[in-house]
């Protein structure tokens, strides 16, 4: 525990996801801000989170946050929409003020919501996400707070995360599930002109998602926007920016087999990485 008067913690930015998907966010952030140190933590052993209850997602996310804090991170990004939808508010409002008042945990829903209203022309926005994120209605609430005239329709894609986690994302069998979810979304609202890929795993399915999305619809993968938003945050919060160490390194931790994670992550990031196994 650290009190209000505790010395500031200096260390890397922690990036957390239920599995491999957060690498798409990490990639966007490192591309924009290569100078910082990062720790990536994937809870692959317990992924997917998308079908789990609020309580379970909260408990798992809190364990990951505590682990990243114990590794010295002053700032953590929940690079997981499901964790952002189900755990972020409680962590920010109940846990941090008591346990770590000088550290911060940020999510990915708000920055995406801020951007999407500037991109739609029809004001009809689609959300493709996990069942947990869609049911939480977090996107609808955040977007309509900022852009009240919008219509938001969500479609859960329960098969998409398993396709990625199991390395099936570019195989022919994935096509059926990808087309099916996109068709359902556009049948529910044919005026949608902008679709948020509201799960960090989905950019890895992007070639196939593009194939089944009618031309003229804008797809929004999140990495770029989360990176922009984080950069602005650090510019506004210089006290936090000074606490982030700047060696340009990135360490990877997974709750699953380190070999399995390293192999998949090296393919996704297009560079050799070596992950370390940990338990939460």
Q: Which residues are catalytic?
A: 80, 199
Task: Answer yes or no whether residue 49 interacts with ligand DGL by CB under 6 A.
Answer: yes
Structural element, H or E, at residue 106: strand 104-106
Sheet holding 13-17, edge to edge: 104-106, 75-78, 13-17, 38-42, 250-254, 275-277
Stretch that binds ligand DGL, among 8-16, 46-54, 138-146, 169-177 (CB under 6 A): 46-54
Q: Least separation, in Å, of the C-beta of 19 and ligand DGL? A: 6
| Candidate list 11, 14, 18, 91; residue touching ligand DGL; CB under 6 A | 18
Task: Establish whether the linkage from the previous residue to 67 is cis, with ω within 30° of 0.
Answer: no
Task: Answer yes or no whether residue 47 interacts with ligand DGL by CB under 6 A.
Answer: yes
Stretch that binds ligand DGL, among 33-41, 42-50, 117-125, 265-273 (CB under 6 A): 42-50
Rounded Cα gap, residues 176 and 216, in angstroms:
22
User: By CB neighbour count within 10 A (0-12 exposed, 13-18 middle, 19+ buried), where does 116 fall?
Assistant: buried
Task: Determine contact, residues 239/215, Cβ cutoff 8 Å.
Answer: no
| Candidate list 67, 86, 103, 201; residue touching ligand DGL; CB under 6 A | 201
Tell me the two tokens of residue 71. 């590794």
51 vs 102, which CB is nearer to ligand DGL? 51
Q: Least separation, in Å, of the C-beta of 161 and ligand DGL? A: 4
Residues 128-167 that bind ligand DGL (CB under 6 A): 130, 133, 161
Structural element, H or E, at residue 239: helix 238-241
105 vs 244, which CB is nearer to ligand DGL? 105
CA atoms within 13 A on the CB side of 129: 32
Residues that bind ligand DGL (CB under 6 A): 17-19, 21, 47-50, 80-82, 130, 133, 161, 199-201
């Amino acid at each position: 525990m650290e009190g209000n008067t505790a010395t500031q913690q200096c260390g890397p930015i922690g990036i957390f996801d239920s599995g491999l998907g957060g690498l798409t966010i990490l990639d966007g952030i490192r591309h924009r801000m290569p100078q910082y140190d990062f720790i990536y933590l994937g809870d692959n052993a317990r992924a997917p989170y998308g079908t789990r209850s609020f309580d379970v997602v909260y408990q798992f996310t809190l364990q990951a946050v505590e682990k990243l804090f114990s590794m010295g991170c002053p700032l953590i990004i929940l690079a997981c929409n499901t964790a952002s939808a189900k755990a972020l508010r409680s962590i920010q409002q109940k846990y941090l003020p008591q346990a770590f008042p000088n550290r911060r945990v940020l999510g990915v829903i708000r920055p995406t919501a801020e951007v999407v209203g500037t991109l739609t022309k029809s004001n009809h926005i689609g959300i493709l996400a996990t069942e947990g994120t869609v049911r939480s209605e977090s996107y609808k609430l955040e977007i309509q707070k900022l852009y009240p005239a919008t219509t938001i329709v969500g479609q859960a894609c329960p098969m998409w995360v398993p396709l990625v986690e199991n390395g099936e994302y570019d195989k022919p069998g994935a096509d059926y599930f990808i087309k099916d979810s996109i068709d359902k979304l556009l049948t529910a609202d044919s005026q949608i002109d902008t679709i948020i890929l509201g799960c960090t795993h989905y950019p890895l399915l992007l070639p196939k998602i593009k194939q089944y999305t009618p031309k003229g619809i804008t797809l929004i993968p999140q990495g770029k926007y989360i990176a922009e938003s984080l950069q602005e945050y650090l510019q506004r919060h210089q006290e936090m920016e000074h606490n982030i160490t700047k060696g340009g390194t990135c360490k990877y931790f997974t709750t699953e087999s380190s070999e399995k994670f390293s192999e998949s992550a090296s393919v996704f990031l297009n560079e050799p990485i070596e992950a370390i196994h940990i338990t939460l």
